[in-house]
Amino acid sequence: MKLLSVVKWILKKIIFPSKGHNNRYLLLLHNIKIDSHRFIVQRALNLLIEKSK
């Protein structure tokens, strides 16, 4: 499943949540945000290292 599809699915679940599941989906969305940020930072650092060589 593509990342965009997963994010759309989670957003639908947050907007139209079943009772008791809201916190779980918010946590999943938060984890996706953290992983995306980690990827961006790692990529930026790799580009800086390559540029300095």
What are the pLDDT digits (tens) for 2-53?
Answer: 888 888 887 777 777 665 566 777 788 888 889 899 999 999 999 999 998 8
Give the model's pLDDT for residue 7.
82
Give the model's pLDDT for residue 29.
83
Q: In whole angstroms, what is the distance from residue 32 CA to residue 26 CA?
A: 10
Question: Which phi and psi (to 5°) does residue 41 adopt?
Answer: -65, -45
Q: In whole angstroms, what is the distance from residue 6 CA to residue 25 CA?
A: 11
- In the chain, the number of structural domains is 1
Residue 11, token pair as written in the block: 């957003």
Give the model's pLDDT for residue 43.
93
What domain range includes position 21?
3-52
Give the model's pLDDT for residue 25.
75
